[in-house]
Amino acid sequence: FDLQDPLKVDQFIEDNQIISLGDSIKTKVIHTPGHSPGSVCFHFDNPADNMVFSGDTLFAKSIGRTDLWGGSHPQLIKSIKDRIFSLEESTVVCPGHGDKTTIWEEKNKNPFFT
């Protein structure tokens, strides 16, 4: 791996695609535009761990920025309400910055939704 050579894209991911990471780990791609046009979250739903890696889409009691190129506040709110909040309320949310939270916490305590 050479930092001077950019990595070549050999595969694109799509909404609802299941990606295998090794032999036993699988994650579902959830398209969540709003922070940026191609924003995605990764949902790991198995008996041991039910979590979503939300990147810059959803934070503990906050949401991602929408003032950058391609960002859209209404689209981000819709992505969170329709795509992320449809997950089980016990799902742990692991944001790109800050503390982890749960879907229940964000539905009930996030000022952008209460």
The per-residue pLDDT for range 23-81, each reduced to its tens digit, is 888 999 999 999 999 999 999 988 778 999 999 999 999 999 999 999 999 999 999 99
Give Cα separations from 96 to 11, 62, 101 (angstroms): 23, 12, 12
- Name beta bridge partners: 40: 31
Lookup: tokens for 31: 């398209």
Residue 5's pLDDT band (cuts 50, 70, 90): confident
Rounded-to-integer distance, Cα 4 and Cα 85, Å: 40
- The helix or strand, by DSSP H or E, that contains position 108, with its residue range, turns out to be helix 103-109
Q: Which residues contact 83 (CB under 8 A, 6 or more apart)?
A: 30, 31, 32, 41
Average pLDDT for 5-34: 90
The per-residue pLDDT for range 96-112, each reduced to its tens digit, is 999 999 999 999 999 99
